[in-house]
Structure 1
């Protein structure tokens, strides 16, 4: 092999990345934990399935689309809850939501006993599972309550990486996290673009305009407006490093959800007739009023 070929080969190898987005939920959880420490709780062989989906002619998934794993992060005990977007769009039903809420509540119990556990939630969800609407909403509320209780003891870190994004009630859960890590491909919003178009019309938002949608609610925009704390490349090492950095920061002095007056003041500056990526950045970058 010539010197030129060798250089070319090395250069090509140096830019190859391991995509985090392309991993299923189970492998996402595994890659966030220290090597060799992954241990799944209530996995597919436990067959904890939704009792409601078969009644509507929908095939269940044996883990109901939520992977719960214990292990360590930087040698410290950790729990990762990863939502599987390939099953029902990552929607949250009674079983999947209960698994996440219970994992967080068990971590809270350990923290209260003086044994801190590092919690990570990998969001990839459109929100509540419509086939289990009320049950799904109730369990999302339990997840939110667990995050608020847990974040008094340790940072709760959320990751929004994939193309499904994070919407609905789970976007509120994400906003309650101490820190959010996102990729540029990730999206965060209360309602998805298709829902907005359906309810308010295409004049309000053209959901097919992918460039504009990502400019409004994509990871880069959310980081620029302070709703995401760390923007990371779609790379397993980059995501892992960002999660570790988040824990290294410790519990923030004030969580986003506690800064109510600041956000109300900024929302009051928004002109509903002029909602654009640039105007949102201008509002959320504005200095605090004296």
Structure 2
């Protein structure tokens, strides 16, 4: 395993778009300046053994960047997914890198050495070319998140236009704190999949305004399914991540509030449900009590 150091990382600049950064740059910005050290980087050449068999060109890091460093001086690990490679899909290698990084952080936490974990989601879910292998490793990621959050908050960030879907949307939902931008999207199935399977009468995947009303970052935060709405600014997102760790582990994670959410789902009228009614039903005091705090909006 090689380490790539970055002892002279530049300081934040005003209004630097987080969305426009690559996964490697995002990982760097989520850590204290000058502390970024990449694990299993592109020079290690750990690539998918399955993509070449299907005439698909590999990427040297398989689309997942793992970095160690610190956040507010506390040891941290960041896993950032690269949407520019195969839509951020999770295959055997990229998923194993993320799962292993979280499991190593868990080992440190169990020994009393806290490591702060952050996952920058930008993924459509499992890589279809690796199917079952990808699904299996996503399950390992989810298990690691659940184990880690007993010791330290697990912070997720969904910022970019690809969003977070499929099995990785479940991983995001397991995080202790979930930070989103207005541009980010979160859902089990993407709009194109819903249109393909249920028809355009169910959802028109080209209706961008409607899609963001349903699953965009602003809607998810207002509905209590994410915790902080942050502007597309690298410094603002880094500040939100720091604040999430200061807030600590919530008394009850969303995924543990099963009865709470089942009761809310039972009150939905499918024929009349709207984005506004979802906000009214899922947002507010009832969801906040499940999370142990209020939904917040990070301003400039």
User: What TM bracket, shorter-length normalisation?
Assistant: over 0.9
Aligned partner (choices 87, 97, 100) of residue 98 of structure 2: 100
Mapped contact 2:149–2:249 kept (Cα < 8 A): yes
* Whole-Å separation in 1 of the counterparts to 2:41 and 2:221: 34
Aligned partner (choices 269, 272, 276) of residue 270 of structure 2: 272
1:227 partnered with 2:225: yes
CA deviations 1:153-204 (Å, max 9, x no partner) are 0000000000000000000000000000000000000000000000000110
Q: 1:286 offset after TM fit, Å?
A: 6.5
Secondary structure at the counterpart of residue 132 of structure 2:
helix
Gaps of 5+ in 1: 1-14
Scaled by the length of structure 1, the TM-score of the pair is 0.93
CA deviations 1:234-287 (Å, max 9, x no partner) are 000100000000000011100000000000000111112223211211221376
* Whole-Å separation in 2 of the counterparts to 1:52 and 1:241: 39
* Whole-Å separation in 1 of the counterparts to 2:138 and 2:206: 29
Scaled by the length of structure 2, the TM-score of the pair is 0.90
Q: Which residue of 1 aligns with 2:238?
A: 240
Matches within 5 A, 1:174-185: 174-185=172-183
Secondary structure at the counterpart of residue 205 of structure 1:
coil
Aligned partner (choices 206, 211, 214) of residue 213 of structure 1: 211
* Whole-Å separation in 2 of the counterparts to 1:256 and 1:264: 12
Gaps of 5+ in 2: 1-12, 287-300
Matches within 5 A, 1:87-126: 87-126=85-124
Change over 3 Å in CA distance of 1:185–1:73 after alignment to 2 = same
* Whole-Å separation in 2 of the counterparts to 1:41 and 1:274: 49
Which of the pair has more CA radius of gyration?
1
Change over 3 Å in CA distance of 1:30–1:16 after alignment to 2 = closer
Aligned partner (choices 142, 150, 156) of residue 140 of structure 2: 142
Q: Which residue of 2 aligns with 1:164?
A: 162
Aligned partner (choices 158, 170, 173) of residue 171 of structure 2: 173
Cα root mean square deviation, aligned: 1.3
Q: Which has the higher helix share?
A: 1
1:48 partnered with 2:46: yes
Q: Which residue of 1 aligns with 2:4?
A: none
